[in-house]
């Protein structure tokens, strides 16, 4: 009996043991405890075994557990590991808590794919949205300055002006060097519409970067992908790097956020001219003689047609007739006035800039769906009279899990912008700074000019041609310029996408996405009757531009663990891109008939045919990427893309570019407590670029019946002609070959981190127009020639010296050195890119950096001194001497964030060292006697403008022919210190050190918020931008000021606007 009982118990025990060890399939979703978003790529492993999997794109997993009593371990970079017992459960959902001691983050990479930083084999910098909006800059593009190693942002000081955004140096000699912007997978156009005249300093309006249509408050994060290995999957437009923007999405529950802010801007006086107040109008000490009061005697009249200040010294006891003596509406009509400096100088002209920003965001969601709806309105009133830009932005995004396998999402952004009175730029009468910096009379009072305009709204200028010819010689009344010769513009822009994702298995899913970027733009420019005709006739120009681009992406993602140690992840897909750009520009001819009526029908002469264009482009691409991982330690990354472009010749219109990369996380092997993280990485990649529109096919231009008469028609039949540049049906795509190696480390529980990258890129087969014999019927021909090399080093350091419950201090530094060199050109050793005032040109020269400036320079003695001739004036070199290199030696940024309880102080120092610029403002302004350097006392203690015979004059620094110091005194008259000196005399350092941004934010404590009940959070902040130029070399200007985005115009200052110093207040409410 006992034996039977024991046998029965043994059998039952075995059965219970077998049941106890029975396998079970467990599935679930892993989310972030911070915001409830799904986490892809989370490792899920049965504790103590090699059985495991990872979560898919939607954060879901499924795993067969051999023992229903086992435990699962969930781990992910940037989050604390979590262990959960199975206990026979078939569904286990977990929320991981972020861990600040781990190396951050999942990084958004090409096509919006999220990857752990462990596996990244290339340099990529990710910024949080709060970093972008720290100083409440309404222009998202400008807010990147100084924050990312390798990223250079050159901004203008004009209202809504464009910025140059270049990653790792200039690559294309004649094409676009701007980085590609991608928002939630949608490549968006950032092409500026500024004219060639505007970009080369000849005058025009700066209409800004279309990328500024992105609402900064809507940015969740931003990834800057720098090298070709990081960007190749985006195809031919990614050769210049990519800036990926991920917008905010809806979160669980329901939330409302209100943001309200106002910013005040005033001019930074360090960037505005100082004027000598000793001498007044004239190119010399002489009056006009004219009988003003009709008494038969000739009176002393200011030389109003002279736009210079080398005239008589001021003397309040001297009475003289000035410009207002000839204005019948003026209280000084036919009255002489004391000869004194103007009480209200050009600084009076500038107003206080005001920017008002209000936004509201509503978001919500649950485990199956989420949404976000936002509205932002920004009103910017500029520093100049009659200048304003109003922008309304609406955005919506949402996603829905239709089934456990199918997810769909959509997002749309709409921006409506109206601009009025953008600043005129360059060497043109529409730019008031041209006069203020270069050609002006220090006796002019700007308040009196303002009153003169508003008395009858006529062009009552200080710069009359003569008392008998009361028309503007060169310069209009600046208030007339702002209220009569103004532009207006409007742009309606929509971009967005619709996407679906189907999950076949835990390791394979398919994404289909259709995206659209579209805008319609109208620009109107006016030049009124009564304005100076020195540079143009009265006219009205109307420019309509319409852009459409569609992208279709279809790609499969896979992420498969063959064993717990070996993993392969990647994607394979295709892209179809179709774009179309239509534009029509029409301008009146010969003048206007009716004053202040701005319509094409008001043209004085018959309208010239409008300039119309339609540019279409089609690019089809297939791509693939695979990353092989071993123990999350060693990663081999392979990718390739093949594009086919409509702008390349048939039969030779496809191009393939590969990428190979390797990364090794060696900290996983060392396992040292002091070493939190360490990785070495390297890669090689190639990217291509197609040809400009119509560079490979013949087309014809219609002859203008007025301009080209009598050949515009033949027997009434319109004639057509070939363009000036001959097509080339054998063109090949441009190609950039890039390689880099980098090291990333973190220490002290990730409180100290350091990253360094060394890179090199060569852009070859550049498509350039080269000169050909006129006998061919053309002036130029497109060819493949030219090579540009960029090589450099990037470093980034982050350090958290202090961190406790109440106090923390975060320090971030970045530093970049890039060396740019033109390796080869199509023909010869030099290519002129643009020519400017002052006899200066921008050039690409073999063996030299891109964009060097050439002009007349000094003739140097063997001892290095600047040689003067026997009369004491500088000897001049030939006009092709290299006088400056605009490229900086290095640039960097230092940001600090210090937090104590609810109070946080942030500031950013932006640094650019090295490089030079040519300053046309001092070239002409010193010549016309505006600045203090042209007056005052000389080395003898006498007024320098006295004749040399009376102890006056100046000695130009330099050496004589024998090398001895120059001691020959010359007359200090007009031009001697300016345009009669070599252009090199007016070359200054282009470097700077700026306090770019600062903010002080206070977040109300939760104890107080909880009592208010309605609110979830309230914070208030004081912000500042461009607060202090700590160091610079160029006088009276910001070395960063220029003409806007583009290859040319770098290192050249002309009529630059002063820098606005902005201080604001912002409050945010969360409900």
Let me know the angle formed at the C-alpha of 1042 by 1037 and 1046, rounded to the nearest 5 degrees.
Answer: 165
Strands annotated E in 402-434: 406-420, 424-425
Which residue is associated with the tokens 């060169």?
474
Q: Phi and psi dihedrals of 12, rounded to 5?
A: -65, -40
User: Which residues are within 8 A (CB) of 223 and not within 5 positions of it... i.e. 6 or more apart?
Assistant: 107, 108, 109, 124, 125, 126, 127, 243, 244, 246
Distances (CA, A) of 212 to 390, 466, 525, 945: 13, 46, 22, 50
Strands annotated E in 943-1047: 987-989, 992-1003, 1017-1032
Cis omega (within 30 of 0) on the bond before 710?
yes
Q: For residue 410, list its beta bridge partners.
A: 398, 498
Which pLDDT value is given to residue 710? 43
Distances (CA, A) of 977 to 281, 428, 854: 17, 23, 20
Task: Give the whole-angstrom CA distance, residue 372 versus residue 865.
Answer: 67
**DSSP letters spanning 109-122:** -GGG-EEEGGG--S
Do the Cβ atoms of 626 and 660 come closer than 8 Å?
A: no
Helix (H) / strand (E) containing 616: strand 611-630
Please count the CA atoms within 13 angstroms of the CA of 1052 that sit on its side-chain side.
32
Residue among 984, 995, 996, 990 nearest 1053 (CA): 990
Task: Give the whole-angstrom CA distance, residue 190 versus residue 178.
Answer: 8
Q: What is the pLDDT of residues 444-470, one digit of tens each?
A: 999 999 999 999 999 999 999 999 999
Q: What is the pLDDT of residues 477-518, one digit of tens each?
A: 999 999 999 999 999 999 999 999 999 998 999 999 999 999
Which pLDDT value is given to residue 10? 39
Coil, helix or strand at residue 548? strand
Task: Give the whole-angstrom CA distance, residue 1038 versus residue 433.
Answer: 13
Do the Cβ atoms of 850 and 844 come closer than 8 Å?
A: yes
Task: Give the whole-angstrom CA distance, residue 455 versus residue 460.
Answer: 10
Burial class of residue 594 in the structure, from the number of CB atoms within 10 Å of its CB (0-12 exposed, 13-18 middle, 19+ buried):
exposed
Do the Cβ atoms of 224 and 246 come closer than 8 Å?
A: no
Q: What is the pLDDT of residues 564-616, one digit of tens each?
A: 889 999 999 999 999 999 999 999 999 999 999 999 999 999 988 888 889 99
Task: Give the whole-angstrom CA distance, residue 265 versus residue 352.
Answer: 6
Task: Give the whole-angstrom CA distance, residue 544 versus residue 522.
Answer: 5
Which pLDDT value is given to residue 20? 38
For residue 986, give the DSSP letter. G
Let me know the angle formed at the C-alpha of 48 by 45 and 52, rounded to the nearest 5 degrees.
Answer: 20
Share above pLDDT 90 across residues of the chain, in percent, rounded to a whole number: 61
Residue among 830, 818, 831 nearest 889 (CA): 818
Do the Cβ atoms of 232 and 685 come closer than 8 Å?
A: yes
Q: Which domains does the chain have, with CATH numbers?
A: 19-99 (2.60.40.1120), 142-267+354-436+475-696+731-921+989-1070 (2.40.170.20)
Q: What is the pLDDT of residues 1027-1062, one digit of tens each?
A: 999 999 999 999 998 765 566 778 999 999 999 999
The predicted model scores a pTM of 0.86
Which residue is associated with the tokens 């002091």?
674
Which pLDDT value is given to residue 715? 60
For residue 943, give the DSSP letter. B
H helices, E strands: number in the chain: 10, 60
Rg (CA), the chain: 34
Reduced to 3 DSSP states, what percent helix, strand and coil does the chain have, rounded to the nearest 5?
10, 50, 40
Looking at 619-693, list the stretches that DSSP marks H as alpha helix, in order from N- to C-terminal side. Answer: 667-670
- 542 Cα distance to chain centroid: 27
Low-confidence ranges of the chain (pLDDT < 70): 1-21, 35, 50, 57, 77-78, 99-105, 196-201, 702-719, 1043-1047
Task: Give the whole-angstrom CA distance, residue 450 versus residue 478.
Answer: 8
């Amino acid at each position: 009996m006992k034996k039977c009982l024991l046998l029965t118990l043994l059998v039952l025990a075995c059965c219970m043991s077998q049941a106890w060890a029975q396998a079970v399939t467990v599935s679930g979703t892993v989310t972030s405890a911070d915001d409830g978003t799904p986490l892809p790529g989370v490792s899920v492993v049965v504790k103590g075994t090699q059985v495991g999997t990872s979560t898919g794109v939607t954060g879901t997993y499924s795993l067969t557990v051999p023992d229903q009593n086992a435990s699962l371990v969930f781990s992910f970079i940037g989050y604390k590991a979590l262990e959960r017992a199975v206990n026979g459960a078939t569904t286990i959902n977990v929320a991981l808590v972020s861990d600040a001691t781990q190396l951050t983050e999942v990084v958004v990479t090409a096509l919006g794919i999220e990857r752990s930083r462990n596996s990244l084999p290339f340099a990529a910098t990710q910024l949080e949205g709060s970093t972008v909006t720290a100083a409440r800059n309404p222009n998202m593009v400008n807010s990147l300055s100084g924050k990312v190693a390798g990223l250079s942002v050159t901004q203008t000081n004009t209202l809504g002006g464009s910025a140059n955004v270049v990653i790792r140096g200039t690559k294309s000699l004649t094409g676009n060097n701007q980085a590609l912007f991608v928002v939630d997978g949608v490549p968006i156009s950032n092409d500026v519409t500024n004219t060639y005249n505007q970009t080369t300093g000849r005058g025009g309006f700066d209409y800004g970067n279309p990328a500024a249509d992105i609402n900064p408050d809507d940015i969740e994060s931003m990834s800057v992908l720098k090298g070709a290995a990081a960007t190749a999957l985006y195809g031919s437009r990614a050769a210049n790097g990519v800036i990926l923007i991920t917008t905010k999405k809806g979160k669980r529950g329901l939330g409302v956020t209100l943001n309200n802010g106002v910013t005040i801007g005033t001019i930074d006086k360090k960037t505005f001219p100082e004027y000598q107040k000793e001498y007044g109008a004239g190119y010399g000490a002489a009056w006009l003689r004219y009988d003003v009061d009709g008494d038969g005697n000739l009176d002393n009249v200011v030389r109003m047609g002279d736009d210079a200040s080398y005239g008589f010294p001021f003397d309040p006891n001297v009475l003289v007739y000035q410009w207002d003596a000839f204005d019948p509406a003026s209280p000084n009509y036919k009255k002489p006035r004391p000869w004194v400096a103007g009480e209200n100088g050009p600084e009076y002209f500038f107003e206080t800039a005001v920017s008002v920003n209000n936004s509201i965001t509503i978001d919500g969601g649950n485990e199956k769906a989420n949404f976000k709806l936002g509205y932002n309105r920004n009103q910017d009133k500029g520093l100049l009279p009659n200048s304003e830009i109003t922008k309304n932005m609406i955005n919506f995004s949402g996603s829905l899990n239709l089934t456990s396998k199918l997810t769909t999402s959509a997002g749309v952004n709409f921006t409506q912008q109206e601009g009025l009175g953008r600043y005129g730029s360059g060497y043109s009468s529409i730019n008031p700074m041209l006069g203020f910096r270069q050609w002006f009379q220090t006796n002019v009072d700007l308040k009196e000019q303002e009153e003169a305009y508003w008395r009858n709204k006529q062009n009552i200028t200080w710069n009359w041609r003569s008392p008998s010819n009361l028309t503007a010689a060169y310069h209009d009344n600046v208030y007339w310029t702002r209220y009569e010769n103004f532009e207006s513009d409007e742009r309606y822009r929509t971009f967005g996408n619709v996407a679906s994702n189907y999950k076949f298995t835990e390791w394979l899913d398919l994404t289909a996405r259709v995206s659209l970027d579209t805008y319609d733009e109208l620009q109107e420019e006016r030049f009124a009757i009564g304005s100076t005709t020195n540079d143009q006739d009265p006219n009205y120009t109307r420019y309509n531009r319409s852009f459409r681009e569609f992208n279709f992406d279809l790609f499969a993602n896979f992420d498969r663990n063959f064993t717990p140690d070996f993993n392969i992840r990647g994607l394979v897909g295709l892209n179809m891109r179709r774009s179309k750009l239509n534009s029509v520009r029409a301008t009146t001819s010969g003048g206007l008939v009716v004053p202040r009526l701005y319509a094409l029908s008001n043209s004085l002469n018959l309208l010239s045919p409008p300039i119309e264009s339609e540019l279409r482009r089609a690019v089809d691409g297939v791509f693939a990427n695979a990353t092989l991982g071993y123990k999350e330690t060693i990663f081999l990354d392979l990718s390739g893309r093949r594009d086919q472009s409509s702008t390349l010749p048939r039969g030779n219109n496809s191009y393939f570019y590969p990428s190979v990369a390797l990364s090794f996380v060696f900290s996983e092997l060392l396992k040292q407590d002091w070493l939190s993280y360490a990785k070495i990485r390297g890669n090689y990649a190639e990217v291509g670029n197609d040809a400009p529109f119509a560079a490979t096919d013949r087309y014809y231009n219609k002859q203008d019946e007025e301009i080209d008469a009598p050949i515009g028609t033949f027997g009434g039949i319109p004639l057509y002609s070939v363009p000036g540049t001959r097509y080339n049906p054998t063109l090949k795509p441009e190609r950039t070959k890039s390689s880099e190696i980098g090291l990333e480390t973190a220490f002290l529980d990730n409180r100290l981190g350091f990253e360094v990258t060394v890179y090199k890129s060569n852009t070859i087969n550049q498509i350039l127009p080269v000169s050909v014999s006129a006998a061919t019927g053309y002036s130029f021909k497109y060819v493949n020639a030219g090579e540009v090399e960029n090589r450099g080093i990037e470093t980034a350091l982050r350090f958290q010296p202090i961190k406790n419950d109440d106090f923390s201090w975060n320090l971030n530094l970045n530093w970049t050195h890039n060396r740019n060199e033109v390796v080869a050109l199509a023909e010869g050793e030099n290519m002129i890119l643009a020519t400017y005032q002052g006899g200066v040109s921008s050039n690409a020269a073999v063996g030299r950096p891109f964009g060097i400036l050439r002009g007349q320079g000094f003739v140097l003695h063997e001892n290095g001194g600047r040689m003067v001739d026997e009369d004491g004036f500088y000897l001049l070199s030939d006009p092709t001497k290299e006088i400056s290199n605009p490229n900086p030696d290095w640039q960097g940024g230092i940001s600090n964030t210090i937090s104590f309880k609810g109070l946080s102080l942030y500031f950013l120092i932006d640094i650019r060292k090295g490089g030079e610029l040519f300053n046309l403002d001092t070239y002409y302004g010193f010549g016309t006697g505006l600045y203090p350097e042209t007056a005052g006392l000389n080395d003898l203690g006498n007024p320098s403008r006295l004749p040399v015979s009376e102890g006056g004059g100046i000695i130009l620094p330099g050496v004589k022919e024998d090398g001895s110091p120059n001691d020959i005194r010359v007359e200090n008259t007009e031009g001697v210190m300016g345009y009669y000196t070599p252009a090199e005399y007016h070359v200054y350092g282009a470097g700077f050190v700026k306090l770019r941004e600062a903010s002080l934010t206070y977040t109300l404590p939760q104890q107080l918020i909880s009592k208010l009940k309605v609110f979830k959070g309230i914070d208030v902040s004081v912000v500042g931008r461009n607060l202090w130029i700590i160091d610079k070399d160029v006088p009276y200007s910001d070395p960063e000021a220029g003409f806007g985005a583009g290859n040319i115009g770098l290192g050249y200052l002309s009529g630059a606007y002063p820098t606005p110093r902005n201080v604001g207040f912002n409050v945010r409410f969360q409900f």
